[in-house]
Chain A
Amino acid sequence: MDAILVLEDGRSFRGRSFGALGERLGEVVFNTGMTGYQEVLSDPSYCGQLVVMTAPHIGNTGVNEFDLESPKPQVAGFIVRAHSENYSSWRAKSSLSQLLREHGIVAISEVDTRSLTRHIRAGGAMRGIISTEEDSIERLVQKTLTAPMMEGQDLTKAVTCNQAYPWGEGSNPWRPVTPEGKQNEYPYHVVAYDFGLKRTILRRLVDHGCRVTVVPANTSAQEALDLQPDGIFYSNGPGDPAAATYAAAKLGGLLGKVPIFGICLGHQLMGLAFGGKTFKLPFGHHGVNHPVRYIPTGHVEITSQNHGFAVDPDSLPADVEVTHLNLNDQTIEGLRHRTLPAFCVQYHPEAGPGPHDATYLFGQFVQMMNEERP
């Protein structure tokens, strides 16, 4: 089955469909990771996006239950150079295309993904459409123009959970453990706001001795505090942080009361709550090879990244310290409040996919909770 990808500026790419049939609109972004396609496509932060994988072969290792970052694929559409229907991995349960079809995700292969990536690099992230139904580029361009821009969109409500639930699975490779009833081994209670939360974050928290209660995005600060957490976690998620004003506002009621750790969107929301501003990056950071300097030690971490917005350094008040810096473009990668127990990073220290260089941040969160305990 033929498929076509059309961008809002009229650029088009023909290829073959390997997912569900239909038409999907979204912002086209590229991810440069060579491994981890399953984690990428199930990361809720990609909600509303058509994701291009720059690694040419996708699907090689099939899909398995454990590597999903959320219960289902979240991308609006998936764009690859060469899709493998046949896969090889001792953990695989089915093929990538089977998973995509089951969940109604459109996907296109045989696309010149390098040219597409160069186009986005030069022109910035833009709206696009994948279609298996329509052939007229002109009509498809018109459709892309009807899609909302990513800037100004709050997508957290689309991906958050409906009700609170406990999480107890750690990341011990392929041998999940459940901390229920092991209060002593899991002495910290963390309330994790779900703005599009990745499972690997939850697993890392469990690994570090946390019992986690995941709460929906609309949970109020008081409701969260009523759960008597040792710490609050502000999750990653899709969309424009500046549009999720409700989520940033809520932080006002939490800051200073209990240690807070934020990742990705959570970091941007904290930046806003600290009084700063966010802005849209030309084409974002999506990959697993970004060098980040941890300023207190000077050490360089190779990090997993997935964000289209960043916190503006000039907008931050004096009581906020920049702790992490991206060495490719000098954008802010981490913040810490100088007086309140709150810190956050723009990238993904939990990895999944990506390197484990920054796992220490979970240790810092635990330490902070320990210090703040009455």
Chain B
Amino acid sequence: MPKRTDLHTILILGSGPIVIGQACEFDYSGAQACKALREEAYRVVLVNSNPATIMTDPELADATYIEPLTVESLEAIIAKERPQALLPTVGGQTALNLAVALHEKGILERYGVELIGASAEAVHIAEDRQRFKEKMLEIGLEVAQSGIAHTWQEAQEVVHKTNFPAIIRPSFTLGGEGAGIAYNVEEFRALVEYALDVSPIHQVLIEESVLGWKEFELEIMRDKADNGVIICSIENIDPMGVHTGDSVTVAPALTLTDREYQQLRDMGLKVLRAVGVETGGSNVQFAVNPRDGRVLVIEMNPRVSRSSALASKATGFPIAKIAAKLAVGYTLDELRNDITRETPASFEPTLDYVVVKIPRWTFEKFSAADQTLGTQMKSVGEVMAIGRTFGEAFQKAWRSLEQGRAGWGADGKGQIERELLRERLITPHPDRFFYIRYALQSGMNVDQIVALTKIDPWFIYEFERLVNLEGRIRAFALDTLPPDLLRQAKRAGYSDAQLAYLLRESVEARFPTEMAVRNRRKALGILPTFHCVDTCAAEFPAFTPYLYSSYETEDEANPSDRRKVLILGSGPNRIGQGIEFDYCCCHAVFGLQKLGYETIMVNCNPETVSTDYDTADRLYFEPLTLEDVLNIVDVEQPAGVLVQFGGQTPLKLSRALEAAGVPIWGTSPDAIDLAEDRERFGTLLDELGIPAPEHGSATSWEEAYAVAQQIGYPVVVRPSYVLGGRAMAIVYDNSSLERYMREAVDASPEHPVLIDRFLEDAFEMDVDAISDGQEVVIAGIMEQIELAGVHSGDSACVIPTYMLAEEHLETLREYTVSLARALGVVGLINIQYAMKDNKIYVLEVNPRASRTIPFVSKATGIPWAQIATQVVAGGLSLPEWAATYRAKEYKHQGYHVKEVVLPWSRFAGVDTLLGPEMRSTGEAMGSGLTFGEAFAKAQQGCGLHFPLQGKAFLSVNDNDKGNLIAIARDLAALGFSLLATGGTAMALQAAGLEVTPIYKVKEGRPNAVDYIKNGEVALVVNTPLGKDSFFDEGAIRRATTTYGVPTVTTLSGAAAAVQAIRSMREGGWITQSLQERISQE
């Protein structure tokens, strides 16, 4: 059955900003779907508010809308583009929920839009827990004992039957948001009330606990001819009770007999048929009782998911691409397997390797958050590693995580608290696997560990094998280690750095000890071999060079003799380094491909577009460590290696790579170092006559004290070589500084703490530029909407600047040009500036691709990372390109605002105040003819909807009171009635405004929090009162987060909000595709 010819235009929905539970895997799936449908000559219309995606590149769709993912904005786009079909299954839960909303509101029917890939009915059955349960029972499958509740009373009745511990799951939420485990009535009540609240349909499922059962997932595809195939089985090593996104998982399943596996397979296919998934991919989760094999169906997702991205990378089977083709009428047997070329897509991949996924958490940024892992996902990213055995993949995955570990222990790092051993084994926690290791080392046996962790014994036995092997290695030194044992260790996945530690190699300054192991290993001929991910366990030849390393007997890398470049990716997503860098790496690939280079990508993040075997010419799915990168360089012998696109990950390797003789292209590692080294950089700024806040560096509290005395409080403190403001703080006095130096950071002579004077109430600007060492082209100047003190990654920003005078812009340009030249930047450079009292200071220079490059590219319509790559490769003359570009520079009309999303709802108890430590997970972009329109759209893109009317609650610090008056007056003029706490109310009343004073939290009742909780407040403006009144503000901000009241914590943000509200009330917004805008400019 060929593709459908009755469809012409197909609408694809993206998943919006990156949030916990919904990350860049949907850029991967959406980009695949766009490519797959355009390949079939359909006209593709794409909507996604997230600019940092490859899918929103103008080349990927015929019409791309970077607009809020709301019913209103989609209706406008549908009315304009008139698609015949909507594919809602590649944009995560966001897209699925939106499609259902469009269907229920009759919009799809009105415009004659057909849902393809999943019907509204199928989505309902899969997502509505009650209907799903009924359906499963109808087809003879077991589900956990459970009941649905819409009220607290109903919940009590249900739990009476299901007993404690009880699992609480809200319907229609993402990544297990609002889910939890209650062991008693008190916990139960709190969880139920919260879950009812976060569920968009106020429905919650209360379920029998199957904690400790084995957990499996199947990735299944089905076509309209009812052909069904299992793409991948995934086993969660962490048993039931930990969200699958927070579980360490392995593919394929390793502890099932064929009989049990086939039972799951039969059930999975039955589930798809019963739910009515007619075409596409779905994920079905099962719990299996380890004592008797009883199987429960836990849930299913009728769409591509994080697991399907993992399954695609784990098997080489592109689920999203095939799902898109099935949605337009193909059957599986009509599609080819890209990798073998000869065989059809209607088969089940078979693996002759093992894949391990480990989540990446960022608890260090949310110190108040509970680190216990449970039914609600908390991780922000993940790594995947491939090895020929479980142990090898497991070790590679740990070193891929970039958390300072050389693998699963054996590196002298990490802290084990002995007294926590039992607790850490029993209660799932990010460090649990290191405690299992410690337990084995300290003589606990496998049975005991299994009893505490409920992890399948097979895995614990494998861990025991690793620990025992280490014991044998420790008996030797590097020069006495028998070659056979060294080979065995490498085959078991140990890194050279781990072996250096186990063999007690002495630390030679500036020479990594792992290099000694490496040299010895190479001398003995113990070299890695590279193998293809080929979907078929070598049964058929593979044509796609998608490779991983192992230590086998035959190398399959088969490098070409083309001129080639290695691009180092950005590793696992984390706060501060996410999809933006993957976007840049992909563009580096595109840029080089256009110049005729062979491109080779190295990365270990399965969620990304960069690890699609379709992106670069060759893909190495490997950890981004010195050892693993050097191994690839040895095999490929690239002409150059690009380190400036993958964020801090490759930059950290650049010096060691250069020292090992690897040709680094672009800005030299020394210049990168210069920009990070405060001493050297300070000298350079002095020479150039560019001001910077007074600063110093310190390796001890005493030194820090001296610096602070000299430059004066407040100061900004942070460790060197970090991204995303990790451990960055604003310190107002000696005691805070002392605490910071003694407790918060590990300062060392190599990594001192940087101390800068904090410029209070300054404006901040971000500049991205490209240089070839001489010529410098400004890509974009962004003005941050929040004032200095909020990390630039957490601040909304706008292009073009809306408050800066031309003379200041000119200064920014001048400084940028002279800094780029002085540093000898070849490629991208990002500079952060602050302006206080009309004077511009340099805060920070990053001679690399920045987080804002995708946003600038989308705002200007220029693929800056690609241009930079071509300049670096010498394939593009920047002066010539600049001449044509400048002719049209600054002609783009309208405003573009980038806003961020913050993960507060995931981390109960964490204060939501913005600060110098970046904590946002993602971003959305809004464009409009006015600043207000762009800002309002960006907010909507992040799920924040300013009210059009109602009561505005204002509470600001003394500094802000003067400037608040104009904002309050505007709000009043827009029809808002004003509430304010004492001091603020007085200031406003004095200015002649009508204000109702209300109590602060400690002043009496009803207080501000009561008003918020009662739903009486539509908008909150609350600026920090200084370091002492955190309690009051914290309570207010927690209440606004819980009750979803739009909150602004800076006055500049409030002023922007006023403009947004005005624009929302006036209407007349534009709905313009990226392609239309670019062609106008």
Contact A114 B538 (CB under 8 A): yes
Closest to A328 in B: B343
Q: A13-B553, A81-B388, A114-B552 are in contact. Are A91 and B293 (CB under 8 A)?
A: yes
Partner among B252, B254, B258, B333 whose Cβ is within 8 Å of the Cβ of A293: B333
Stretch at the interface among A35-43, A188-196, A242-250, A256-264: A35-43
Contact A289 B255 (CB under 8 A): no
Contact B258 A33 (CB under 8 A): yes
Interface code B227-259, partner A: CB below 8 Å = 1, 0 otherwise? 101100100000000000000000010111111
Interface code B536-574, partner A: CB below 8 Å = 1, 0 otherwise? 111111000000000011101000000000000000000
B890 at the interface (CB under 8 A from A): no
Closest to B252 in A: A34
Partner among B332, B458, B554 whose Cβ is within 8 Å of the Cβ of A86: B458
CB distance from A209 to the nearest CB of B (A): 20
Of residues 142 to 198 in A, which have CB atoms within 8 Å of B's CB atoms? Answer: 173-174
Q: Which residues of B contact A352 (CB under 8 A)?
A: 258-259
Of residues 1036 to 1081 in B, which have CB atoms within 8 Å of A's CB atoms? Answer: none
Q: Which residues of B contact A91 (CB under 8 A)?
A: 257, 293
Q: Which residues of A contact B665 (CB under 8 A)?
A: none
Contact B350 A114 (CB under 8 A): no
Contact B350 A32 (CB under 8 A): yes
Can you list 17 A-B pairs with a CB-CB distance of less than 8 A?
A: A34-B350, A86-B446, A88-B456, A90-B293, A91-B257, A91-B293, A114-B388, A117-B352, A121-B541, A173-B263, A287-B539, A288-B348, A291-B346, A302-B346, A302-B348, A327-B333, A353-B258
Closest to A36 in B: B258
Give the most central of B262, B344, B351, B390: most A CB within 10 Å: B262
B342 at the interface (CB under 8 A from A): yes
Chain B at the A interface: SS class: loop
Closest to A352 in B: B258
- Alpha-carbon distance A118/B540, docked complex (angstroms): 9
CB distance from A135 to the nearest CB of B (A): 16
Contact A90 B291 (CB under 8 A): yes
A113 at the interface (CB under 8 A from B): yes
Q: A82-B389, A86-B461, A90-B291 are in contact. Are A356 and B539 (CB under 8 A)?
A: no
A57 at the interface (CB under 8 A from B): yes
A321 at the interface (CB under 8 A from B): no
Q: A61-B257, A302-B229 are in contact. Are A33 and B293 (CB under 8 A)?
A: no
Contact B254 A173 (CB under 8 A): no
CB distance from A9 to the nearest CB of B (A): 15
Contact B536 A32 (CB under 8 A): yes
Q: Which residues of A contact B348 (CB under 8 A)?
A: 288-289, 302, 355
Q: Which residues of A contact B536 (CB under 8 A)?
A: 32, 289
CB distance from B230 to the nearest CB of A (A): 8
Contact A32 B537 (CB under 8 A): yes
Number of B residues with CB within 8 Å of any CB on chain A: 56
- Alpha-carbon distance A66/B290, docked complex (angstroms): 18
A55 at the interface (CB under 8 A from B): yes
Of residues 298 to 354 in A, which have CB atoms within 8 Å of B's CB atoms? Answer: 298-300, 302, 327-328, 351-354
Q: A55-B537, A56-B388, A84-B461 are in contact. Are A112 and B257 (CB under 8 A)?
A: no
A67 at the interface (CB under 8 A from B): yes
Closest to B1 in A: A298
Contact A67 B344 (CB under 8 A): no
B363 at the interface (CB under 8 A from A): no
Taking A55-B350, A355-B265 as known contacts, 19 extra A-B pairs with beta carbons closer than 8 A to each other, sorted by chain A number, are: A30-B538, A35-B256, A36-B257, A67-B258, A82-B388, A82-B389, A87-B458, A88-B457, A90-B293, A112-B552, A114-B531, A289-B350, A289-B536, A291-B347, A300-B333, A302-B230, A327-B347, A355-B262, A356-B265
Q: Which residues of B contact A81 (CB under 8 A)?
A: 352, 388-389
CB distance from A115 to the nearest CB of B (A): 4
Closest to B488 in A: A110
Q: Which residues of A contact B206 (CB under 8 A)?
A: none
Give the most central of B255, B257, B531: most A CB within 10 Å: B257
Q: A112-B552, A302-B229, A356-B266 are in contact. Are A287 and B256 (CB under 8 A)?
A: no
A290 at the interface (CB under 8 A from B): yes
- Alpha-carbon distance A35/B255, docked complex (angstroms): 9
Contact B351 A299 (CB under 8 A): no
CB distance from A369 to the nearest CB of B (A): 26
CB distance from A97 to the nearest CB of B (A): 14
Contact B552 A67 (CB under 8 A): no
Q: Which residues of A contact B457 (CB under 8 A)?
A: 86, 88
B226 at the interface (CB under 8 A from A): yes
A94 at the interface (CB under 8 A from B): no
- Alpha-carbon distance A353/B348, docked complex (angstroms): 14
Enumerate chain A interface residues (CB-CB to B < 8 A).
Answer: 13, 30, 32-36, 38-39, 54-57, 60-61, 64, 66-67, 81-82, 84, 86-91, 112-115, 117-118, 121, 173-174, 287-291, 293, 298-300, 302, 327-328, 351-356
Closest to A82 in B: B389
Closest to B257 in A: A61
Closest to A286 in B: B539
CB distance from B531 to the nearest CB of A (A): 6
Closest to A117 in B: B538
Partner among B256, B257, B290, B538 whose Cβ is within 8 Å of the Cβ of A118: B538
Q: Which residues of A contact B552 (CB under 8 A)?
A: 112, 114-115
- Alpha-carbon distance A146/B230, docked complex (angstroms): 43
Q: A55-B351, A81-B388 are in contact. Are A121 and B539 (CB under 8 A)?
A: yes
Closest to A174 in B: B293
Q: Which residues of B contact A13 (CB under 8 A)?
A: 553
Contact B352 A56 (CB under 8 A): yes
Q: A60-B255, A327-B333 are in contact. Are A112 and B553 (CB under 8 A)?
A: yes
Contact A300 B227 (CB under 8 A): yes
Closest to B391 in A: A82
Partner among A117, A290, A291, A355 whose Cβ is within 8 Å of the Cβ of B333: A291
Contact B389 A118 (CB under 8 A): no
CB distance from B289 to the nearest CB of A (A): 8
Give the most central of A33, A88, A302: most B CB within 10 Å: A88
Partner among A55, A84, A118 whose Cβ is within 8 Å of the Cβ of B458: A84
Q: A55-B537, A293-B333, A302-B229 are in contact. Are A61 and B255 (CB under 8 A)?
A: yes
- Alpha-carbon distance A287/B352, docked complex (angstroms): 12
CB distance from B545 to the nearest CB of A (A): 15
Closest to A115 in B: B554
- Alpha-carbon distance A57/B346, docked complex (angstroms): 26
B349 at the interface (CB under 8 A from A): yes
Contact B262 A356 (CB under 8 A): yes
Q: A34-B252, A55-B537 are in contact. Are A291 and B344 (CB under 8 A)?
A: yes
- Alpha-carbon distance A114/B945, docked complex (angstroms): 56
CB distance from A21 to the nearest CB of B (A): 21
Q: Which residues of A contact B438 (CB under 8 A)?
A: none
B485 at the interface (CB under 8 A from A): no
B353 at the interface (CB under 8 A from A): yes
Contact B554 A39 (CB under 8 A): no
B354 at the interface (CB under 8 A from A): yes
Contact A114 B262 (CB under 8 A): no
Contact B333 A39 (CB under 8 A): no
Contact A54 B350 (CB under 8 A): yes
- Alpha-carbon distance A39/B257, docked complex (angstroms): 10
Q: Which residues of B contact A87 (CB under 8 A)?
A: 458
Give the most central of B227, B259, B332: most A CB within 10 Å: B259
Q: Which residues of A contact B332 (CB under 8 A)?
A: 300
Closest to B348 in A: A289
- Alpha-carbon distance A90/B458, docked complex (angstroms): 12
- Alpha-carbon distance A38/B265, docked complex (angstroms): 19
B705 at the interface (CB under 8 A from A): no
Contact A33 B225 (CB under 8 A): no
B434 at the interface (CB under 8 A from A): no
- Alpha-carbon distance A352/B531, docked complex (angstroms): 30
Q: Which residues of B contact A302 (CB under 8 A)?
A: 229-230, 346-348
Closest to A13 in B: B553
Contact B389 A57 (CB under 8 A): yes
B837 at the interface (CB under 8 A from A): no
Partner among A38, A57, A113, A121 whose Cβ is within 8 Å of the Cβ of B257: A38
